[in-house]
Amino acid sequence: MAIHDVPKFGLLPLTAHDIADLRSDHAGEAGAVMIYAGILAISRDPEVRQFAREHQETERRHLAFFDAWLPAARRSKLLPVWKSAGWILGAFAALWGKKSVFRTIAAVETFVDRHYAEQIDSMQARPGLEDLVEVLRRFRDDELHHRDDAAERANDDRGGLWPRIIGAGSVVGVSIARRI
């Protein structure tokens, strides 16, 4: 199954709840591309730059799917906000050095993993959504890889205030992007 095999948005039996989730996915992927742009704007560390370029490539693919598939009317009206927030988060993390970048990405992806997992859970048993669920599963696997790659490089227990701030900020961002 390729990504372009997913039936057109209007042909799928999506609920208002699903559509809100998909709007937040698109917003999140747009933000994710910019997190790495923010990192790359600041960091001169070769390991960080390599890491950011590789992850950004994946996020670009995720975003390209939603850009091509999600109708304009269903997108968040606040895309410039999500992109700016992503860039600022990435740049801010990079100002504090390598470990801060890895801890930030590990925290973001921990959130994104749960976000995709919930949608997969709620959609997977519903007829007609198989191809979409398959794409979300694939994206989730990529995010898990990002999370583990970042956590391994950060090499700490992922505790502390910063990951909790990111988790809380992500919850707020998603709840706004689901609506607007």
12 or 30: CB nearest Fe ion: 30
Q: Which amino acid is residue 30, in one-letter code?
A: A
Question: Is residue 146 a contact residue for Fe ion (CB under 5 A)?
Answer: yes
Q: How far is the CB of 1 from Fe ion (least distance, A)?
A: 18
Residues in the chain: 180
CA–CA separation, 111 and 167 (whole Å): 6
Question: Is residue 143 a contact residue for Fe ion (CB under 5 A)?
Answer: yes
> Whose CB is nearest to Fe ion?
62
Q: Which residues of 30-51 are buried (b: 16+ CB within 10 A; e: fewer)?
A: bbbbbbbbbbbebbeeeebeeb
Nearest to 29 by CA among 115, 153, 101, 133: 115
Region binding Fe ion by CB under 5 A among candidate stretches 3-11, 55-63, 77-85, 158-166: 55-63
Among 59, 104, 173, 174, binds Fe ion (CB under 5 A): 59
Helix pair angle (98-123, 46-69), 10° resolution: 30
62 or 83: CB nearest Fe ion: 62
Among 23, 62, 115, 140, binds Fe ion (CB under 5 A): 62
Question: Interface residues with Fe ion (CB under 5 A)?
Answer: 29, 32, 59, 62, 143, 146
